[in-house]
Amino acid sequence: MASPNSYKLSCSIPGHEMDVRGLSAAFFPDGAFVSVSRDRTGRVWVPNSSPDRGFTEMHCMTGHQNFVSCVCIIAPSDTYPRGLIATGGNDHNICVFTLDQPQPLFTLKGHKNTVCTLSSGKFGTLLSGSWDTTAKVWLNEKCMMTLQGHTAAVWAVVILPEQGLMLSGSADKTIKLWKAGHCEKTFTGHEDCVRGLAVVSDLEFFSCSNDTSIRRWLVTGECVQVYYSHTNYIYSLAVFPNGQDFVSTGEDRTLRIWKQGECQQTIRLPAQSVWCCCILPNGDIAVGASDGLIRVFTEVEDRMASPQDLQAFEDELSKTTIDPKTGDLGDIKMEDLPGRDHLDEPGNREGQTRLIKEGQKVEAYQWSVADSRWMKIGDVVGGSNQQTSKKVNYEGKEYDFVFTIDINEGGPSMKLPYNVTDDPWLTAHNFLQKNELSPMFLDQVANFIIENTKGHTLGAAPPSAADPFTGKATGSTSAIAKLRELNGGAPGEYRLSEGVLGSLEKLLVSVCDPCASEQPTTEQISLLWKTSHWPEDIVFPVLDILRLAVRHPQVNESLCGGDADNGVALCNHLLSLMKPQARPANQMLALRTLCNCFSGWRGRALLLAQREAVLSHAADLCSVCNKNIHIALATLVLNYAGSLHGQPDLEAKAQCLSVASAALESVQDKEAVFRLLVALGTTVASDQTAQDLAKSLGVTSQIAKYTSVTDPAKVGECCQLVLKELQ
């Protein structure tokens, strides 16, 4: 036997094509476990009988339409003596499988968003949690009750072994104890989203959180211990059979093994996100990560990998790169770092990190108590004095940048690799498609890339680079200057006082400056609305302010839905400015304002309710010969397509397809064409009826001409993706 705290790699298991998001030990066969992945599959792994100590895939399960995020095992019964496997996915469904067939035995429907956690109990009871803020109890293929009370996504659920008690943990930072469908108690203490729960006994449980802490609770409500060691989000927990020791994984690239209340060992992995873990019947630990691999670690020497494989794992780890912002490395100043001789001094605790300067590089080492040596865990990139020209290794490839993207509130962060020779818009499109995210985020992600690679990207940014949906935030100063200029010649009844101009300027600062301390006031919003009714020949600078202001949550709430009639009045006013005979500047800015309304839930709800009128007026502008109007029009259609994605509203999708198709008849600008192609692809994705409708409209032959476009390349590439979807 190796020393008790000396877990080492036993094997690495390839097979999944994307992130491994859930693991669970199986009842049958002996020593088996189940994994689920973003690649939409679940897989059953059984130990090899051969000397290579690995695992073989015994069974592959399919049935989800989007990525699979969680798994649990339903205990054997007389009907199913080998037990059942339940998986939850981004398609809002729970699929239940046997070991005999790849397709689900049955599918549980009822959640309105991603099912992100599952737990099973006695008599085949199943508990699920979802991004829709609810947990549901299922039995015999039926939903028996819905547990409502959380105000954000339910990220973790467990069923306690006795007493009929259930627990749920949420992005609202709380844990709730349920009995017979009623909330008996709410546990508070975590300072961020609760990501995982694990049962200790009938009376105790663990929780982990984005706040980097693990807590041990009594079901009576007391937190009896808090554990700190992780340096980033903690995603999962698993408890050893003794009920005292446990393991945890997280966004700091680590598996941590806790014994007698202390972190006894830290194992770093060559993957940023270590999503999940489970303890196998023999005491080994399986972990799943963002690189698509499952790794098994053991403290039993006979099951450890060969010396060659252990060295290969260590070498792979040493070649990874570490962003100091994602860990505990702090701000790095190369001139202050010691050299390699600093590693001659032993560490004083397991997992201690030490940085050294090696030439022009910063290297990170971790102290291993078991091996009594410093192990290299990667090269640090992004420190304050480091060169930015170095490539970043991510999932086996080199990139100029690897960004961390947080899109869903309380949700897991995602990695976005990017090279300066790539097109930011196509990169954003591929990122959203890979991660099964709504295409309505296209502009935000693309602009995030542009903003964070200033000075490095090749070529000019698109016209709307600095605005979350359309337009340029940098135009705020010129808008005020133009407003003052036109105000001087405005008719007497429209001329604004210096006080009103000052209020509008303050409003613009508060909505455009993320560091602004003052929020928009009711008076300022009222003045903006009143001023937006200036004569059409001078109103355009006010519209420029309006389209920026509606991105602010408070303005969006007030103008789009603060009063039952406010939103309709805003919509009608903007549509009046979009008439074919109206001034082009007003048409463009009205379109951009409508696009930016989508940035808030009030505005999104308003525009979905007014969809028929808005898209009809927008379609009338297809024939206008104006590049900027076409880009704004295409963006509006794209925002509608993103909002309707996954919804069963065929009538609305039909109108999106019709407007996009009509626009492609006259639009020449390649950026507008690209956005219309993305809108088409979004509308037909995973919707056979919409695909059939698009074919009946002749979309396939209409867009085929764009497959050969190479300048920019994203147009041709996107067109090919849409045609593939329509095959």
Evaluate if pTM is beyond 0.95. Answer: no
* Structure confidence at residue 515 (pLDDT): 61
The structural domains of the chain, ordered by start, are 321-387 (no CATH), 393-452 (3.10.20.870), 462-607 (1.25.10.10), 610-727 (1.25.10.10)
- What contacts 243, CB < 8 A, 6 or more positions away? 200, 201, 204
Q: How many residues does the chain have?
A: 727
> Which of helix, strand or coil describes residue 599?
coil
Give the end-to-end CA distance of the chain in Å, rounded to a whole number: 58
- What contacts 131, CB < 8 A, 6 or more positions away? 113, 114, 116, 153, 154, 408, 411
Contact 273, 251 (CB under 8 A): yes
Contact 136, 123 (CB under 8 A): no
Contact 120, 111 (CB under 8 A): no
Query: Cα separation of 251 and 242, whole Å?
Result: 27
- CA-closest candidate to residue 95, choices 60, 58, 121: 60
- What contacts 589, CB < 8 A, 6 or more positions away? 471, 540, 543, 544, 546, 547, 577
Contact 83, 65 (CB under 8 A): no
* Structure confidence at residue 334 (pLDDT): 65
Cα atoms in the Cβ-side hemisphere of radius 13 Å centred on 16: 32
Contact 690, 684 (CB under 8 A): yes
Query: Cα separation of 168 and 160, whole Å?
Result: 11
Helix axes 627-644, 611-619, angle to 10 degrees: 150
* Structure confidence at residue 5 (pLDDT): 52
> Which of helix, strand or coil describes residue 178?
strand
> Which of helix, strand or coil describes residue 192?
coil
Contact 607, 646 (CB under 8 A): no
Residues of the chain with pLDDT under 50: 1-3, 383-389, 408-411, 455-475
Structure tokens at 201: 């006994």
Hey, which residues does 128 pair with through a beta bridge? 118, 136
Helix axes 601-609, 566-576, angle to 10 degrees: 70
- What contacts 402, CB < 8 A, 6 or more positions away? 321, 323, 392, 394, 415, 416, 417, 418
- CA-closest candidate to residue 66, choices 88, 98, 99: 88
* CB-CB neighbours of 238 under 10 Å: 22
- CA-closest candidate to residue 634, choices 601, 594, 600: 594
* Structure confidence at residue 686 (pLDDT): 81
Contact 58, 46 (CB under 8 A): yes
